[in-house]
Amino acid sequence: MLLSEQAYKLIDIELAKYPEDQRQSAVMSALRIAQTEKGWVSPEVIDDIAKYIGMPAIAVQEVATFYNMYDLKPVGRFKVTVCTNLPCALREGEKTLDYLKEKLGIDVNETTPDGLITLKEGECMGACGDAPVLLVNNHHMCVRMSRERIDEMLEDIRKEGQA
């Protein structure tokens, strides 16, 4: 087993939500739990989840590669994803991404040299009216992100990264 006892307990809670013959329905939650604990989803973790749930590893791999919230390679402690779908692109999404690239000195799918921040480009986050929209670590949505608000967010991330 590659995950902590606590992680398997959380996966068990998710598995309990489904009938025994539909255990595969908990795969997305299991991947989320594993990624939260490990920081990313390695091939070994995918195999482990498959065995634990009782489904083929390729089926877990298909889910992990289909959805962009799962990281199949190590990322920084903070993953900042910028929505660049058309509605956000029309409301400064592309300029926001360019500003972050400039501020961080990295390109999309790269991590800052200190390992703190990975920059990603994302699909629709369902908040088009609040564009530009950023998502931090798949859980914290930041909306109406002006340059000033981006600078504040980056400062907060750096402070938390030092803690």
142 is in an annotated binding site: no
CA distances from 95 to 1, 28, 71, 88 (A): 44, 32, 24, 10
128 is in an annotated binding site: yes
Is the pTM value of this prediction over 0.75?
yes
| Whole-number percent of the chain with pLDDT over 70 | 100
What pLDDT is recorded for position 102?
Answer: 96
Residue 82 clears pLDDT 80, i.e. is over it = yes
What pLDDT is recorded for position 62?
Answer: 97
113-151 residue pLDDT tens: 999 999 999 888 889 889 999 999 988 999 999 999 999
CA distances from 31 to 55, 132, 159 (A): 13, 28, 28
83 is in an annotated binding site: yes
What length is written for the chain?
163
27-58 residue pLDDT tens: 999 999 999 999 999 999 999 999 999 999 99
Residue 163 clears pLDDT 80, i.e. is over it = no
In order of their start, the domains of the chain are 5-66 (1.10.10.1590), 78-162 (3.40.30.10)
Residue 154 clears pLDDT 80, i.e. is over it = yes
